[in-house]
A and B are shown apart, each in its own frame.
Chain A
Amino acid sequence: MLTEEEIKAIDHEASRVPHKKAALIDALKIVQQQRGWVSDESVSDLAEYLEISPAEVDSVATFYNLIFRRPVGSNVILLCDSISCYVMHYEEIYASLKDKLGVAFGQTTEDGLFTLLPNACLGCCDRAPAMMINHDLYTDLKPEQLDTILMKYK
C-alpha cells in the first residue's frame, strides 16, 4: 500500500501535468525515496493509483537506470565509466573499490552498506574521474582517497 505521505507527494507532481499517469516517473522516484527500491507490490500499487497497467509501470521502471527494481544497499555508489573518466583511469578507482568493498558492479556488500553501480557521464568531465555516493559528488578521485570517503558512510 502507498503511504499517505507518498500519495500526497504523487498528487503534488500530478497537479503539474494534464493527466495523472504522466506523473509516473516522479511517482516511482517518490516510492524509491521512501523505500530504497521499487518492489512488485509497489508496481501494482502505483498502477492502481495512476490507473494504468502494472506492465506499463514495470516497462517504465525498468527502462530508467536510476529506478531500482531490486533492493540496494543503504548507500549507492555510482562510478562514472564514460569517456573522460576512462581517459583519466576510472578503472583504477573501480579496481580499488572492488578490492575494498569485495563487490563488483551490480552487487551489494554483505553488510548491506553499499551497492556499487557504473553510471554514464556525471557531467564533471573536467574533474575526472568522478563518482556519486547518494547525493554527494566526488571528483578528481585518487585510489588513496577512497578509505576516507567510504568511512563517512559506515
Chain B
Amino acid sequence: MERPLTKNIHPGRPPLNLKDYEMTGGYSALRKIMAGMSPKDVQQAVQDSNLKGRGGAGFNTGMKWSFVPMDEKGGPTKYLIANADEMEPGTFKDRLLLEGNPHQLIEGMIIAAYAIQANISYIFLRWAYKAAAKCLEESIHEAYHAGYLGENILGTGYRLEMYLHTGAGRYMCGEETALLNALEGKRAMPRAKPPFPQVSGLFGKPTIVNNVETLCCIPHIINNGAEWFKSLSYSEDGGTKLYGVSGKVNKPGAWELPMGVTMRELIEEYAGGMKNGYQLKGVLPGGASTDFLTVQHLDLKMDFKSVAAAGSRLGTGTMIVMDDATCPVGFVHNLQHFFAQESCGWCTPCREGLPWVEKLLLSLEKGTGTEEDIDLLQQHTQWLGPGNTFCALAPGAMEPLQSALKYFRDDFDRHVKEKKCPYHHNHH
C-alpha cells in the first residue's frame, strides 16, 4: 500500500530538512514543471487526478484553480494561501504533515502558485502549532537559500515569495473568506460570495486557498501522474487520505490510507477497537461539524460520495468516536458550546440561535428540560440550516444536533422523563 504523503514521516524523529527531502525525491516535481510544463498543464494534471480539497468541502482542486483569471484581467498580483489553521475540533491530521515534512508542503505550494501564476504566498498557521511554526520558518529559509523561492526560481525567471503567518485564535479563521480578512489584519468575519476569492480575494486580488493535505498531494501528482493518483484510491475520489480516530479506542491516531477504506477498518484495525468495557455508540466522521453515523454504518466506505449518501460528510476525515458511557446530550452540548462561542456574530440566526441551542441542551443535562425544549432543538436545526445563515458555521453546527436527535432521541427523552442526565455517574 503506497503512502506518498507520509512514507518519509517518522513521528518522534525530527522533520526532514532540505537535504533529507531532496534525497527522497523532493523538489523533483518542481524541477519537472519548470523544465517544461505550462501553468495550464499543471492545472489540467491536478484536475485529471480528481484530487478533492482535504479541508472539508471536497471540491476538485484543479477546477478551483481554473477559476483564477490567467490573462491580464487577473492583474500582476495574485496570492496562494495554505490553510494550516486546522481548528475543526477532533482534527489533527495536518499537524502530522507540518511537523513531519514541511518541505513537502512548500513544494506543493510553489507548484500551486506557479499553476495560477501567483507571486506571493502565505501559510496561515494556527497559533497552537508551535513546533510546526519553528520547522516551517527554518524550511522556508532553506528553500530561499536553495533557489526554490525568491526572485528567479531555478533560473526560470518565475518569482515567488513565501511568508508564515500565525494566527491569534478563533475557529472562523478556517473559513476561506474569513481567513482572508484575518490575513488583512481584520476580524475574521466571512465575506459574501460572489465575488469568489479566485477572482477577488486577499487585498482584492485573485487568491487560491488550499488545505495543507491538499497541497501536499500536488508534488506526487506531478511526479507520478493523474492515473497513478487515482489508482491509490478505493473509490472515485483520487488519492490517499489522512484518516484519524480519537475517543475511547485502544490506539487513537492518524494514518494515510487509500481513500475509501471502511469505518470498520479504521476503528477496529487501525485504532485497535474500542477500549475494554466500552461499546461504540456513534461517530462524527470528519470533525465537529459533521452528522453522526452509527454502528449500522460500520461498513461504509469513507470517501466523499459514500459518506454523503449516508447523510453525513467526510469533512476532514478525522473521526470522533462516541462510546456508550458518554451522554449524547452532553456530547452535543459540548459541541454547541464551542459553536456558540466561535460564532463571529455577523448574522442573527447564528449569533442568537446557537447560544439558545446551547442553553436548551444545558437545561436537559441539568434535568430541567421539557418535551418542548426538544421540539425547539428540532426547529433550530431548520432555522440555522443551509440557506438561512451568512456562512457554513451554523449549518455545520446543526449537523451533529439533527443527527443526534435522529439516532439518539431516546437519550434526549430520558433526560426529560428522569429529570436528570442518566449518564451522569457513568464516568469510569
* B87 and A120 within 8 A (CB): yes
CB distance from A46 to the nearest CB of B (A): 11
Residues of B166-219 contacting chain A, CB below 8 A = 166-171, 182-188, 203
* B128 and A87 within 8 A (CB): no
- Residue of A24, A26, A125 touching B90 (CB-CB under 8 A): A125
Instruction: Give the docked Cα–Cα distance between A139 and B245 (Å).
Output: 16
* A63 and B203 within 8 A (CB): no
Q: B126 near A: Cβ within 8 Å?
A: yes
* A24 and B334 within 8 A (CB): no
Query: What residues on B are CB-neighbors of A19 within 8 Å?
Result: 203
Q: B13 near A: Cβ within 8 Å?
A: no
* A84 and B187 within 8 A (CB): no
Query: What residues on A are CB-neighbors of B331 within 8 Å?
Result: 83, 86-87
CB distance from A121 to the nearest CB of B (A): 4
Residues of B249-291 contacting chain A, CB below 8 A = 252-254, 284, 288
Q: Which residue of B lies closest to A118 (CB)?
A: B341
* A82 and B89 within 8 A (CB): yes
User: Number of A residues contacting the other chain (C-beta, 8 Å)?
Assistant: 42
* A87 and B248 within 8 A (CB): yes
Q: Which residue of A lies closest to B344 (CB)?
A: A63
Query: What residues on B are CB-neighbors of A64 within 8 Å?
Result: 167-170, 188
- Residue of B89, B163, B185, B246 touching A126 (CB-CB under 8 A): B246
Instruction: Give the docked Cα–Cα distance between A87 and B167 (Å).
Output: 27
* A125 and B182 within 8 A (CB): no
Query: What residues on A are CB-neighbors of B165 within 8 Å?
Result: 26
Query: What residues on A are CB-neighbors of B88 within 8 Å?
Result: 121
Q: A2 near B: Cβ within 8 Å?
A: no
* A135 and B203 within 8 A (CB): no
Q: B323 near A: Cβ within 8 Å?
A: yes
Q: Which residue of B lies closest to A21 (CB)?
A: B185
Query: What residues on A are CB-neighbors of B320 within 8 Å?
Result: 83-84, 87, 125
**Chain A-chain B contacts (Cβ-Cβ < 8 Å), number:** 136
Q: A67 near B: Cβ within 8 Å?
A: yes
Given known pairs A83-B331, A120-B342, the reply for A126 and B183 (CB within 8 Å) is: no
Query: What residues on A are CB-neighbors of B170 within 8 Å?
Result: 63-65
Instruction: Give the docked Cα–Cα distance between A25 and B203 (Å).
Output: 16
Given known pairs A29-B168, A83-B90, the reply for A88 and B248 (CB within 8 Å) is: yes
* A123 and B245 within 8 A (CB): no
* B89 and A89 within 8 A (CB): no
Given known pairs A63-B187, A87-B322, A87-B326, the reply for A28 and B86 (CB within 8 Å) is: no
Main secondary structure of the interface of A (DSSP, over half): mixed
CB distance from B11 to the nearest CB of A (A): 10
Q: A59 near B: Cβ within 8 Å?
A: yes
Query: What residues on B are CB-neighbors of A92 within 8 Å?
Result: 427
Given known pairs A63-B170, A88-B248, the reply for A24 and B185 (CB within 8 Å) is: yes
Q: A149 near B: Cβ within 8 Å?
A: no
Query: What residues on A are CB-neighbors of B338 within 8 Å?
Result: 81-83, 120-121
CB distance from B40 to the nearest CB of A (A): 28
Q: Which residue of A lies closest to B330 (CB)?
A: A86
Given known pairs A81-B334, A86-B334, A87-B326, the reply for A124 and B92 (CB within 8 Å) is: yes
CB distance from A60 to the nearest CB of B (A): 6
CB distance from B119 to the nearest CB of A (A): 12
Residues of A21-53 contacting chain B, CB below 8 A = 21-26, 28-29
Query: What residues on B are CB-neighbors of A28 within 8 Å?
Result: 168
CB distance from A145 to the nearest CB of B (A): 18
Instruction: Give the docked Cα–Cα distance between A3 and B129 (Å).
Output: 28
Query: What residues on A are CB-neighbors of B381 within 8 Å?
Result: none
Instruction: Give the docked Cα–Cα distance between A127 and B253 (Å).
Output: 8
Q: A137 near B: Cβ within 8 Å?
A: yes
Query: What residues on B are CB-neighbors of A123 within 8 Å?
Result: 86-87, 91-92, 95, 126, 128-129
Instruction: Give the docked Cα–Cα distance between A92 and B184 (Å).
Output: 40
Given known pairs A82-B334, A87-B322, the reply for A22 and B184 (CB within 8 Å) is: yes
Q: Which residue of B lies closest to A65 (CB)?
A: B169
Q: A152 near B: Cβ within 8 Å?
A: no
Q: Which residue of A lies closest to B93 (CB)?
A: A123
Q: A97 near B: Cβ within 8 Å?
A: no
Instruction: Give the docked Cα–Cα distance between A126 and B163 (Å).
Output: 29
Q: B247 near A: Cβ within 8 Å?
A: yes
* B92 and A89 within 8 A (CB): no
* A84 and B188 within 8 A (CB): no
Query: What residues on A are CB-neighbors of B356 within 8 Å?
Result: none
Residues of A60-114 contacting chain B, CB below 8 A = 60, 63-67, 78, 81-84, 86-89, 92
Known: A22-B185, A25-B182, A125-B89. 14 other contacts (CB 8 A): A59-B187, A65-B169, A65-B170, A66-B167, A82-B338, A84-B246, A86-B331, A87-B323, A89-B427, A119-B128, A123-B91, A123-B129, A125-B318, A126-B245
Between A and B, 19 residue pairs with Cβ closer than 8 Å are A19-B203, A21-B185, A26-B185, A66-B127, A66-B167, A66-B169, A83-B89, A83-B284, A86-B331, A87-B248, A87-B322, A88-B248, A89-B427, A119-B169, A123-B126, A124-B95, A125-B89, A125-B252, A132-B128
Residues of chain A touching chain B, judged by Cβ–Cβ distance below 8 Å, are: 16-19, 21-26, 28-29, 59-60, 63-67, 78, 81-84, 86-89, 92, 119-128, 132, 135, 137
